[in-house]
Amino acid sequence: MNSIITSILLQLSVVLAKNIISGGNGSGSSGGNNNLNPIDEPIDDSPDINLPDDNNLEDISPIADEIFSSWALFIVLFLLCSALWSSYYLQQKRIKAIHETVLSIFYGMVIGLIIRISPGHYIQDAVKFNSSYFFNILLPPIILNSGYELNQANFFRNIGTILTFAIPGTFISSIVVGIILFIYTKLGIESIHISFVDALAVGATLSATDPVTILSIFNSYKVDPKLYTIIFGESLLNDAICIVMFETCQKFHGKNVEISSFFEGISLFLLTFTISTIIGLIIGILIALVLKHSNIRRYPQIETCLVLLFAYESYFFSNGCHMSGIVSLLFCGITMKHYAYYNMSRRTQIATKYIFQLLAQLSENFIFIYLGLSLFTEVELVFKPLLIIITFICICIARWAAIFPLSRFINWFSRYKRQNNLNNSVSIIQDEIPYNYQMMQFWAGLRGAVGVALAMGLQGESKSALLATVLIVVVLTVILFGGTTAGMLEMLNIKTGCIDDNTSDDEFDIEIPKINKNRNTINNVTNGNNKYFDVETSSNNNSINGSANNLIDDNIELTTNDGTNLGIDDHSKWFTNFDENVLKPVLLDSLQE
Amino acid sequence: MNSIITSILLQLSVVLAKNIISGGNGSGSSGGNNNLNPIDEPIDDSPDINLPDDNNLEDISPIADEIFSSWALFIVLFLLCSALWSSYYLQQKRIKAIHETVLSIFYGMVIGLIIRISPGHYIQDAVKFNSSYFFNILLPPIILNSGYELNQANFFRNIGTILTFAIPGTFISSIVVGIILFIYTKLGIESIHISFVDALAVGATLSATDPVTILSIFNSYKVDPKLYTIIFGESLLNDAICIVMFETCQKFHGKNVEISSFFEGISLFLLTFTISTIIGLIIGILIALVLKHSNIRRYPQIETCLVLLFAYESYFFSNGCHMSGIVSLLFCGITMKHYAYYNMSRRTQIATKYIFQLLAQLSENFIFIYLGLSLFTEVELVFKPLLIIITFICICIARWAAIFPLSRFINWFSRYKRQNNLNNSVSIIQDEIPYNYQMMQFWAGLRGAVGVALAMGLQGESKSALLATVLIVVVLTVILFGGTTAGMLEMLNIKTGCIDDNTSDDEFDIEIPKINKNRNTINNVTNGNNKYFDVETSSNNNSINGSANNLIDDNIELTTNDGTNLGIDDHSKWFTNFDENVLKPVLLDSLQE
């Protein structure tokens, strides 16, 4: 069946490509008819130019330009459809060997190859990987949806572990990759010369683990929430940290590096991280307050738009201030879900959920297609096989060096705490990371589109070789690690099939503002609904009751996840009290009356 | 209150603009540190350049570029927020004198002015009106949502009237504008020389009436459905027709025009229109069949994405084939709502509705902000006051010449039909257009962004003068006609406050697939729901029952709209039968069992 899809795709693409070329010539000649405009040159005589030439592109009349962009968009959307359809097919047939992201990359590569070998460079230019599009259009929905869908209780319970892996882990990884690459290039085997700061920048690029693929796999297997949360949290914060590290390295590009630069870099990084978090929190709280103190919920269409726009504002504002938009958006999403969500009209609650999910899903698929495409459509790439192999080995070593020592440190620390503080032993055992989780975490370190987008910003004479290396390594990790994750989960005996209340995406998973008054009635009504409305999902009753409880006793719900009583950590207790007694009454509408 | 908003906006913008400039210099200097890249020039020494210089832009490092685009996007989103917030405020305070689109344009103009007078041209380049963005990103959601939300019964009942105004009406309007403009430029008062074909192209540009503003006004007043449908249908098809006419004119640009060209143009036009419609219908039916014959509704997240993507494919495919994407997308939306909608999972039904609405609303507001912005940020404009005045008078004459004679023709034709066919008299009286409706239709002829986007494609030496003229005239019509529509509705004694079943956008407006089995039960359950769930909308019961009926007796529902029995026209009878007996059983899932 996959081969059928592929062959249909191939045939269609050839037809498309032919159409494009004839369309291109047709429009070119209509442009050539324009005798009055002196700078307008006929472009249909040179269909075999393969070099990018932006000036030519601008001379095409807007209508011809529109035709080209229509075809480019048609192809991209067609690829998206194919990827989504394959994903549906894989899910329905329960095929575990191939993952949809691998297919997305593959489809992208096929079409990229066709575009590359076909004459004309219009489409090739139109579908090039553009880091600005990536950061401004594709990335925000994914991050926002991650923050919005996050299981907050799990995330904050494991925040220590997550931050340990995210911050020192990424540092270790970048430095290991940087040092190995720097030594390798100094050996002079290949004609690449990079400074140590540039090598570190590449290291940062290649330390951004991908939150998309691994999580979609974990989601479909319903992996143990703790492992899920750690890997999810790490990969999300990871991206932000790599971006900040990369930008810090770029600032030192071409300068002499001293020991003080190291501390300068670290303090710059910590400052960025803190301010970005604060921006996100403030905007999230702002949304909650605006929704509480206005009557905008009477106009749910406007409300939905405003919520979406406000969230995006946090991203762009933060980026514009040289801060990390990802961090801001993530914390804005979390704050929104924790407070603002309960002040929205129900229509907006449903709409935001669906819209964020849709945008995230489209972006995720698109990013991988884009990666596949750019393997062939990027013109500047210089492939050096040996460098690619060395770099691939590099990142495996770096990941190893980051995960295992840090896990050992976390386990040691939790044991140390247990010895000093025997009362709370149950909660502290929870902090330990068993070996199979460590191994899985190592395996989950596949790199994603953030790395490629960052690599676009590399400077210096070796840019094309380094960019090609990063691109290939990213695709390799996705195919190798992503493709074998399912098998690895089985091999390592990791618990799958856990039901996670918060990820239920049924349409009746609606939190109702006035819950504390008539909870029983609502449960009855929703149960009544299911009889008539729900045909397909069977765990519906559970999820509604779960999320209804979730609202009221957000922190007592700890028992439901995997059947064991986890207890409440000390560090989260004070926040829970503060949240319940101060923040929620101020920010939430529903608890007022 | 408006002045407060405006002043806050102004102050914020100044702060923003300052930030942008300092950010620009900072990033420029970090780019300037790059000594290895020979083409990278320091750009912070020339902050006072106002001319666009694309080469400079490309030399900025991707990170600096990202900062600029972040600020540009931040400003745009901020404007969107302001526009939406104003819209909420106007609606809440029931202020009728100012309409939100006028405010959107005004906000855009204010920010555009600030961007224009502030040094540096990065933001100015980033926020320029780009016709490709307009046609590929902003327009499709509006058209798709229009097709999806269309009251089909009303639309097809008035299809004759709509087509009369849309096709011959637009022809008359374009030719009148073209002839007057051509004569005026031949007089030599201003140094503009355009050929007759170019004048016709400008005429086509200025005949595209805007479906956005007028409909949002009509929607908020709940104007009589018949008038609403006629103006809505006209303005939608109008756009498509103007685009096709404009492109036809552009093909003759610089050529000698003969009488045969006229017929060639008309046949080209009719061919385009027919093929585009067929493309839209086929893709709509395809979606229905795919949804019916697959199990994809078990994966509603994928389903929603696919439905959206398929609909967009119709647009881009049609555009790529040199057909009219607008027409295809419109008919694809209509077909989807008529068939595919009932094959979707409920989650997808709700999600598509909300997502289309959100995207349309954002696009609509954005387009007007964009228009306002481009008054100041477009660099190529040459303003000729006399030409602008003449053109404005021109389009009023042209609109007059199109509406009144055609209305007289329609009235004569309906009277003629009545005399020959006395049985069906009730339905035919319905076809007549009273004088106040004609006047309102004249008044509703304000021009929109489609015209501006088309004018971007004008060729020849007078392009900048013509573009400026079109831009100003469009903004003038929106402010003058759009701002006075509410008053005009009162003056002309046009019935407002009509409840239209189909435009109800409550979250419980969900059509349930298996309706014919347990309709009563469902009505009971949904009524039960309202007691607990619904606080704000009072007409909820009506709308649910209305739409439940709507599914089963789509054509008998004619009685509900304005209380009078309209009867069923002959020409729609055969289609109703065909639809009920052939199409629905083949395409719909729910009627099978």
> pLDDT tens-digit profile of A517-567?
333 333 333 333 333 333 333 333 333 333 333 333 333 333 333 333 344
Q: How confident is the model at residue B563 (pLDDT cuts 50, 70, 90)?
A: very low
What the block records as the tokens of B414 is 């309906």
CA distance B271 to B377: 38
Res. B281: pLDDT tops 90? yes
Q: Which residue of B has its CA nearest to A89?
A: B296
pLDDT of residue B270: 83
pLDDT of residue B455: 84
Range of the structural domain that residue A567 is part of: 505-545+560-587
**Do A177 and A198 fall within a single domain?**
yes
Chain B residues touching A26 at Cβ < 8 A: 322
**Mean pLDDT value across residues B260-282:** 85
- Smallest Cβ–Cβ distance between B73 and the set A62, A316, A525 belongs to A316
Ramachandran area for residue B21 (φ above 0: left; ψ -120 to 50: alpha; else beta): alpha
Which residue in A522, A574, A569, A572 sits closest to A547, CA to CA? Answer: A522
Q: Do B358 and A358 touch (CB under 8 A)?
A: no
Task: Write the DSSP string, B498-559.
Answer: ---GGG---TT----TTTTTSHHHHHHHHHHHHHHH-SS-SSHHHHHHHHHHHHH-TTGGGG
- Average confidence score pLDDT of chain B: 73
Q: Are A338 and A149 in contact (CB under 8 A)?
A: no
CATH number for the domain that contains residue A217:
1.20.1530.20
Q: What is the rounded end-to-end Cα distance, in angstroms, of chain A?
A: 58
| B576 falls within a domain | yes
**Do B324 and B405 fall within a single domain?**
yes
Q: Do B305 and A84 touch (CB under 8 A)?
A: yes
Q: State which amino acid sits at residue A376.
A: F
pLDDT of residue A51: 35
Closest Cα in chain A, distance from residue B61 (Å): 7
Chain B residues touching A254 at Cβ < 8 A: 33-36
**Do A308 and A445 fall within a single domain?**
yes
Global ipTM: 0.73
Task: Write the DSSP string, A274-304.
Answer: HHHHHHHHHHHHHHHHHHHSS-GGGSHHHHH
CA distance B201 to B532: 58
pLDDT of residue B313: 92
Q: Do A354 and B355 touch (CB under 8 A)?
A: yes
Hey, is A354 helix, strand or coil?
helix
**Do A146 and A214 fall within a single domain?**
yes
Mutate to test the interface with B, among A90, A302, A332 (most CBs of B within 10 A): A302
Q: Do B358 and A92 touch (CB under 8 A)?
A: no
More confident residue, B533 or A333: A333
The helix, strand and coil proportions of chain B, stated in percent and rounded to the nearest 5, come to 75, 0, 25
Res. A380: pLDDT tops 80? no
**Do A122 and A140 fall within a single domain?**
no
Chain B residues touching A525 at Cβ < 8 A: 528-529, 532-533
- Smallest Cβ–Cβ distance between A346 and the set B251, B347, B533 belongs to B533
Closest Cα in chain B, distance from residue A447 (Å): 20
| A500 falls within a domain | no
Rounded to a whole number of angstroms, the CA Rg of chain B reads 26
CA distance B243 to B166: 13
For A31, other C-beta atoms within 10 Å of its C-beta total 22
Q: State which amino acid sits at residue A514.
A: K
Q: Which residue of A has its CA nearest to B324?
A: A67
Res. B399: pLDDT tops 80? yes
> What are residue B209's phi and psi, to 5 degrees?
-80, 155
Chain A residues touching B286 at Cβ < 8 A: none
Q: How confident is the model at residue A309 (pLDDT cuts 50, 70, 90)?
A: very high
Chain A residues touching B63 at Cβ < 8 A: 247, 250, 457
Q: Do B250 and A460 touch (CB under 8 A)?
A: no
- Smallest Cβ–Cβ distance between B36 and the set A78, A136, A460 belongs to A460
pTM over 0.80: no
| B592 falls within a domain | no
Chain A residues touching B54 at Cβ < 8 A: 54, 58
CA–chain centroid gap for B256, Å, is 34
Q: How confident is the model at residue A381 (pLDDT cuts 50, 70, 90)?
A: confident
What the block records as the tokens of B58 is 């490309």
- Minimum mean pLDDT range among A94-103, A466-475, B404-413: A94-103
CA atoms within 13 A on the CB side of B487: 8
Q: How far is CA A577 from CA A318, A442, A589, in A?
A: 30, 36, 18
Q: Do B357 and A325 touch (CB under 8 A)?
A: no
pLDDT of residue A529: 38
Closest Cα in chain B, distance from residue A355 (Å): 6
Chain B residues touching A455 at Cβ < 8 A: none
> What are residue A209's phi and psi, to 5 degrees?
-75, 155
| A551 falls within a domain | no
| B440 falls within a domain | yes
What the block records as the tokens of A117 is 């070998």
A10-27 pLDDT, tens digit per residue, is 444 444 434 433 333 333
| A498 falls within a domain | no
Q: Do B354 and A357 touch (CB under 8 A)?
A: no
State the total domains in chain A: 3
pLDDT of residue B421: 67
pLDDT of residue A589: 73
- Domain boundary at B79, B109, B127, which? B127
Closest Cα in chain B, distance from residue A160 (Å): 31
Mutate to test the interface with A, among B220, B507, B526, B540 (most CBs of A within 10 A): B507
**Do A518 and A484 fall within a single domain?**
no
Q: Are B525 and B253 in contact (CB under 8 A)?
A: no
Q: State which amino acid sits at residue A367.
A: I
Q: Token pair 């939905």 is at which residue?
A: A304
**Do B256 and B164 fall within a single domain?**
yes
B109-151 pLDDT, tens digit per residue, is 888 888 888 776 666 676 676 777 788 888 889 888 888 887 7
| B42 falls within a domain | yes
- Average confidence score pLDDT of chain A: 73
**Do A40 and A152 fall within a single domain?**
no
Hey, is B430 helix, strand or coil?
coil
> Who's near B263: CB < 8 A, 6+ residues apart?
none
**Mean pLDDT value across residues B536-546:** 37
- Domain boundary at B78, B104, B127, which? B127
Q: Do B247 and A63 touch (CB under 8 A)?
A: yes
**Do B190 and B70 fall within a single domain?**
no
**Do B277 and B400 fall within a single domain?**
yes
Res. A282: pLDDT tops 90? yes
Res. B13: pLDDT tops 50? no
Q: State which amino acid sits at residue B465.
A: A
B163-192 pLDDT, tens digit per residue, is 888 888 998 999 999 999 999 888 877 777
| A166 falls within a domain | yes
**Do B299 and B271 fall within a single domain?**
yes
- Smallest Cβ–Cβ distance between B74 and the set A30, A320, A351 belongs to A320
**Do A381 and A482 fall within a single domain?**
yes
- Domain boundary at A110, A127, A144, which? A127
Q: Are A537 and A577 in contact (CB under 8 A)?
A: no
**Mean pLDDT value across residues A183-209:** 85
Closest Cα in chain B, distance from residue A166 (Å): 23
Q: State which amino acid sits at residue B339.
A: Y
- Smallest Cβ–Cβ distance between B254 and the set A35, A74, A361 belongs to A35
